[in-house]
Structure formats: structure tokens, C-alpha cells
Structure 1
Amino acid sequence: MLQASTRALLIGPVIAASVFLAGCGAAMEPASGAGSAAPRAAAPVAAPGEAVAAGSAVVSDLGAAVDPASLPAGALYRNPANGRDEVIVGNIAHTALLIGDSQSEPQASWPRRALTGLGYDVFFCGKGGTGFVASNGTTGNYVDALQRGDWHLPYGFPPLVLIEGGGNDAKQGASNEQISANADRLITTIKQRYPGAKLAMVGTLGKGADHGGARRAEVDALLGTVAADHGIPFVSVGDWLTRYGLESQLKDSVHMNGEGHRALGELLGDRLAKLGLRLS
């Protein structure tokens, strides 16, 4: 680590803040081979408390340290409490951190719609093809992606963290033991990083065990057990496609079309509200 007097870099292009905040900045780029990720060329290292390079940077002599309140939304900041690069969010007190896969990734996805309906801005950390165990070849699974810096968490203390997923774990054949262990690691990591935040989990969207969704339903139930072990609210969605007649609103075998996202967003928002998770 360089001394605190090292010149820091402040990002040029700034990610605009909105109800669908852009979310975690990628710190890794795809390697040429599938299943691995190669780091970018190293940028100058900033000391804790300084801004760090991200994207197309502009040199700025910021002195010994930076007040994070002076940085624009979207800037990376090296948190002196943990030495990790984190993203400045414009209104962290009204922001829900959403960790998820391709069900959550679209800006108008059903988990994001549910959260915005409860009054939150949304900061998304996730990627299609990932899960508690599953990786998509360029990004690690949830906890590994966060710990190795594929994604950056928001700086500060959001009032809610919502974790969604499990479908890719079912698809890629992850075992119950692997899923439980990594879900436990992720929840423990989030509790340590955001001790004042409420946590909740959403299971694995599916058709139910009696309608061809056996493994997805199993993973959904398994995640419910993990959530119960940690004492956090859980919303089971393992049979929602058939329970609420939403199969006709699938655009493929597992992802919703626009109307499906709207319908599921309302259903999930209602469940989260009943769990007392509306922004106060």
C-alpha cells in the first residue's frame, strides 16, 4: 500500500444515480478461456480514505485523504475501515442493496420493482448466470465475486439488503451442501459489513415440484432453511409461476416478459411489505 500522500485518481465519467442505481462496478475483465477471469492492468493504488481509479480516469491531486461526502455518486472510494473499494451512493439511507442473478439484473426486473414500490432506490450487485455456487465464466458466485472484487458494494449503510437467486445453482448441479455453505458465507459477510441493515432472502423462481420444477423447488426450500437458521425473513417463490398462473408471461423457460415482471413485482412487494420491510 502506498503512503497516504500518494496522488489519487478520481473518476471522470460518473454513474448517474436514479431509482435503478447502476450498481456494482466490475473490477475484472473476461479472460480468453471460459471459467476464469483475469485482472485488468493495475491502476495506481490509493491509500485507505482516497478515491481510486475506475473507468477513464482524470488525475486529481487530492492530498492525504478524501472526504467521501465530497465524491460524486458512482465514484469508487477505498473504505479505511476494511481497505476495500466501494461505490459512493447518492442517498444510501434510502437505498436497498440487491444481490441476485438474471432475475434481478434487468432495470425493470420484478425484484427491483418490488423494492422501488416499497420506497427504496436500488443498488444492484449481481450478474446473469451466477448464484450462491454458480459462476458465469467471467464473474464468480455471489460471495466470491464480492470478496475478490468482481463487484463493489456501496459505501455507507443501506437500510435493507435483499438476496435473490438459486436458479443457476439448480441448473449447474450444485449440491445442497455447496449451496448451504456459500449462502451461509454470504449472509455472514453481509451481516459483518452492514451490521445495522435488515436482511431478507428471496428463493428460486419456479413452477413447483409437481409441474416440472423439482430441483428449483428443492433449492428454494433449502434457501428458506438457511434463512431461518440466520433468523432473517424469507420469501419462497419456488412455485409462483404455476400458483399465480404466470407461465404464459415467460419469455423463455425461466425469465419473465415485461408483464410478468410487473405481476411478480407486485406479488413480491406485497410479501416484503407484510414482513415489515417497507422503507420507514
Structure 2
Amino acid sequence: MRKASAVFRMLAPLIAVGVLAAGCGTSQPSPAATSRSAAPAAAATAAAEKPRNVTPESPAPNLPAGSLYRNPANNRNEIVLADVRHTAVLIGDSQSQPKDSWPQRGIAALGYKLYVAGMGGTGFVAANDKTGNYIDALQRGDWVLPYGSPPLIVIQGGGNDAAQKATDAQIASNAERLLAVLKKRYPGSRMAMIGTLAKGAANGGGRRTEVDALLGRVAAKNNIPFVSTGDWLTRYDAAKDLQDSVHIKPSGHEKLGKVLAGQLAALGLAPRPDSDAAPQPTS
């Protein structure tokens, strides 16, 4: 018995080592090891759940031109255009709305395609019973901007603000708000403003001519090219082309469209040669 006890005392350490070794072979991995092994699977799951086209740099889904697309960069509906990189955006009132209006003619004559937003009876402050003023209508979604990066954005108006007796402060404030939104949304696009069509201060232009001058100051403050039209009805003998006190006949649209095209070109707003890469959509 004493010999057996002695043998057991000699073998006990070896038995203990074997048990520990066996235990290590079946132990659970450390939390760190679990985290590292699970990371690829978690990433794959997240990638599968992540919606497509969620960055402003991504192209819009394969939607036909005219479709609305919810831009995830700003959570706003935007319209998909067939060729946004060659399309100028025109925001305006009833002077811009006729298909062959002088603002549309002037911009198209430079070689741009056109996307027209806004509505007659509106302006920087002025609204009608269908839509708000330029900035409020945009914020509410009464009209939408294009998805992508148009090369040129032109804002025309002021006549309805004059008619509705908006103050200088109101007009300037809303114009600044609109410009801020457009600059943020389209930092790579060129911008221009067109003033208020009128007869001029010396020929009965009145408040319309004053608003034209005010918008010129807003444009200058924001370093945006401006086309003053506050005396065009007199300067270019277009008063005879009026069909009412403020709107012109097709003959007047043709005449002033040519004038506008020349002035926009002189301001360096003609289309630039295509670059190797199309502009990317921005947030």
C-alpha cells in the first residue's frame, strides 16, 4: 500500500497536466477572437441591408426621364432628366413659362437644353392660389429640382413682387434664401439672375424698374452674373410688342430672346466644352 501511494504521488502531477491540457483544447474562444471572427459576417449582413444608391455620388436608379427620385442626400424628391449635364435650369414667373418665351429662347440659343420650374404669378415673395413663392414652393415640393449637376441655373423674376408691393427687405431676404439653397445643392453649377422686365425709370418703369435694380444688388453681393432688364421694353423698342401692361407677344419674345442670348454669352455663360468625366451629383 505504501508503494502504491508513493507511485500515485509521483504520477499525480502528470495526471493534472493532462487534464489541464485537455481542458484547453475544448475551451471557448476569447471575446476578442469571437468579435474578429464575427466581423466579416456582420459586415456582409449590413451591406445586404444597406439600400442602394444612398450617396450623392451614386447615379440615380435606372428610371426613365421624368421620374421622381427621392435623393437620400437631402431627402427631397428630384426629377430625373435624360441629359442633366447639358440642361440649364430656369426658375421664373409668367415671363419664363411660355414655351418660346424670351428667357427660354435666350438660354436655348446658347446651346442648352432646358428644364423650367416656377409658375406664373409668383416671385421671390409673390405667391398665387396654386403655389408659393420661389423658395417656399421649392421647400414644400410644389416644384422640384433636377437630380444631378446641371451646368447652369438661371433665376428670373421680380415683376409679381412689384405688383404685390413686396418690400425691398422681403424681396432681398427671400432671394438670399433661394440662392443659399441652390448654392448648397449645386456647388458645381454656374448661376445667373435675370431682372424685372420694364420700361425704365425715365419711361414709367416705376416699381418694376426699382425691383430690377434691387435684384442686381443681391446678385452682386453673391457674386452672381446679372442681366438687368429694367429698361428693355424701351431700350429695345419692345413696348410696341406688349399684349398687356407687362406681357409681350411672340414678336417681343423673339426680339428679346436674341438680346438675352447675347448678354448671357458676354457674361461667359455659354456651355463649356465637355470634360472627360460627367459632373457628379452633389448633396
Letter paired with 1:169: D
Which of the numbers 188, 207, 210 marks the counterpart of 1:215? 207
Tell me how far 1:210 sits from its aligned partner: 1.5
Q: Establish whether residue 166 from structure 1 lines up as the match of residue 158 from structure 2.
A: yes
Name the larger-Rg structure. Answer: 2
Residue 69 of structure 1 deviates from its aligned partner by 4.8
Are positions 1:127 and 2:96 aligned together?
no
Deviations 1:36-95 (A, max 9, x none): xxxxxxxxxxx8959xxxxxxxxxxxxxxx962511110000001111010000000100
Q: Which amino acid aligns with 1:278?
A: A
1:115-154 equivalences under 5 Å are 115-154=107-146
Paired-residue identity, %: 58
Give 1:52-131 correspondences, 5 Å limit: 68-131=60-123
Give yes or no for contact 2:88–2:152 (8 Å, CA) kept in 1. Answer: yes
TM-score (norm 1): 0.76
What one-letter code is carried by the residue in structure 2 that aligns with 1:132? F
1:29 paired residue number: none
- Aligned pairs for 1:1-280 within 5 A: 68-280=60-272
- Contact 1:48–1:83 under 8 Å retained in 2: no
How many residues were matched structurally? 221
Q: Which has the higher helix share?
A: 2
Instruction: Give the AA of the match of 1:117.
Output: A
Question: Which residue in the other structure is 2:25 paired with?
Answer: none
Letter in 1 for 2:166: A
Structure-2 separation of matches of 1:133 and 1:88: 28
How far apart are the structure 2 equivalents of 1:105 and 1:167? 14
Q: Which amino acid aligns with 1:210?
A: A
CA RMSD of aligned residues (A): 1.8
**Mapped contact 2:53–2:61 kept (Cα < 8 A):** no
Match of 2:211, SS state, is: helix
Alpha-carbon distance between aligned partners in 2 of 1:67 and 1:116, rounded to the nearest angstrom: 26
Question: Which letter maps to 1:102?
Answer: S
- Any idea what SS the aligned residue of 1:218 has? helix
Residue pair 1:49, 1:77 contacting (<8 A) in 2 also: no
Mark the CA change 1:48 to 1:76 in structure 2 (over 3 Å): closer, same or farther: farther
Change beyond 3 A, Cα 1:164–1:67: closer
Amino acid at match of 2:105: R
Question: How many Å separate the matches in 2 of 1:200 and 1:99?
Answer: 11
Residue 70 of structure 1: SS of its match in structure 2? coil
TM-score (norm 2): 0.75
Aligned-partner Cα distance in 1 for 2:115–2:80: 11
Structure 1 gap segments, 5+ residues each: 6-46, 51-65
What one-letter code is carried by the residue in structure 2 that aligns with 1:84? R
SS at structure 2 position matched to 1:86: strand
